[in-house]
Amino acid sequence: MNLPSCKTFCLLATAILALLVAACAPAASPAATAVEEQSADAGGTTGDVPDDPIRIGALAPLSAPGSVVAGEAISDAMNIAIDEINAAGGLLGQQVKLVIFDSEGLPERGTAGAERLINQDNVIAIAGGSHSSVGVAAKEVAHDNGIPIVLVNTWNDTITSVQYPEVFRIAPLSSEVSTIDVNFMKWLRDDVGLNLEKVVLLTENTDYGIPAAEDTSRLLTDAGIDSVTFGVDIGTQDFAGIIERIKAENPDLIMSLATGEASYNFAQQSADAGIGPQDVPTICDHVALVSDAFWSNVPDGNYCFVRRIGLPPPLYNDFAHSFLASYEARTGKVGAESYAFAAYDAIRLIAQAVTEAGTTEAAAIITALENITYEGALGTITFPINSSNTPQQAGVDPKWWHQFPDPAVTIVQYQVEGEDSEGAAVVYPQTYRTGEPVIPGQ
């Protein structure tokens, strides 16, 4: 009888051992299987075969302590843009997929998210941000990996002043917004007749709140107005102690630089304590423009002043009207937030750059973005300060690098309880004014 060779015997033994191990292994739980499928979908390769979608990454705060209402708006707006791009044939003959990472509004999540999107999800570019701390962190990852990033609603000046080739922004600069805020307060004092001697600033201790409060305080001092700043951590829920200290200051105006749902809590708790928007002139955070969420959380929020980025509704262009119709149909909202318009434009801006570059190669996309003229919901977007026209050559501050220079900033005021922000009166500046400000107690 012929015995099996040593090689054959080893192969048979290995096969039998593998079958025994498989039979003894525990079955994967349904939950684990679901997570693995989700990870595989988010982390697959891009461009390996012609049918693979081109992936564009996004950072958005979809859970606390980040501004969830902003994150949901950004997500909805970006998905509308992706749907439009794909309906028109995609990019370079391929469909496009949006991969969103929940930043939670935290810088460490911004870093982790950008690294995941670039190195695992193989995105060609990143959009979004919402919180300045996330933008400050994510820009470093984008720069280290040479991947373009278009940031929305991230105002911190340093994001662009570092002059990274990969970093572009279509949100306003924090220092420029602070100038508008203080000019508005001076106008209330000098033209409207508000007795404005002291302003209290409630700010979150983040890369958005700290520099915004510092710039505003400095500009108020230059205008002959005293100010006191109280800082809180992002996501603070209970403001009782801070509000008592604010009351002791007896302010003539209160300005909130706390973002997200925390700003709702501060406004309503201030109202409960007798220093809310109907008692003391108050500039609320711009998430107050999410009318349904604002009124459900701040029923005593009438007379809030709110910054709105972007043109007022009477001046919307065709792109803005088209996006607005899609956004209202998708969300059930009336109107759209400024960061929703910006998020929509950020995706379409990247898509146009890819089309003009004719490739998904990062350096070519960056060059196309530098030279782009994009017509969108926010108007005409360009980046005139770039590698061919540096801040030094243009004689401007480095913060204008890859910065959309013309975002409109207006101040609106709720003057009817429960009204939608789209119908709220624009009270400043004169160019866009549709109504006069209402000053509580005056």
pLDDT, tens digit (0-9, with 9 covering 90-100), for 372-431: 999 999 999 999 999 999 999 999 999 999 999 988 899 999 999 999 998 899 999 998
Tell me, yes or no, whether 325 lies in a domain: no
Tell me, yes or no, whether 222 lies in a domain: yes
pTM above 0.85, yes or no: no
Residues 286 and 384 in one domain: no
User: What pLDDT score does 408 carry?
Assistant: 85
Contact in structure between 230 and 198 (CB atoms under 8 Å): no
CATH of the domain at 182: 3.40.50.2300
Residues 257 and 393 in one domain: no
- pLDDT tens digits, 306-315: 999 888 888 8
Contact in structure between 252 and 197 (CB atoms under 8 Å): yes
Residues 217 and 339 in one domain: no
Q: Using CA atoms, how far apart are residues 423 and 415, in angstroms rounded to an integer?
A: 10
Q: Are strands 149-152 and 167-169 parallel, antiparallel or unpaired?
A: parallel
User: What pLDDT score does 311 carry?
Assistant: 81
Residue 373 burial (CB count, 10 A): 10
Share of the chain above pLDDT 90, in %: 80
Tell me, yes or no, whether 3 lies in a domain: no
Token pair for 5: 């060779």
Tell me, yes or no, whether 276 lies in a domain: yes
Contact in structure between 345 and 378 (CB atoms under 8 Å): yes
Residues 181 and 162 in one domain: no
Token pair for 125: 């570019």
Residues 74 and 181 in one domain: no
Token pair for 21: 């191990």
Residues 385 and 351 in one domain: yes
In the block, which residue shows the tokens 């109504």? Answer: 435
- What residue type is assigned to position 150 of the chain? V
Report the domain count for the chain: 2
Closest CA to 349 of 81, 58, 53, 79: 81
- Domain extent, residue 118, equals 50-173+333-400
- pLDDT tens digits, 65-117: 999 999 999 999 999 999 999 999 999 999 999 999 999 999 999 999 999 99
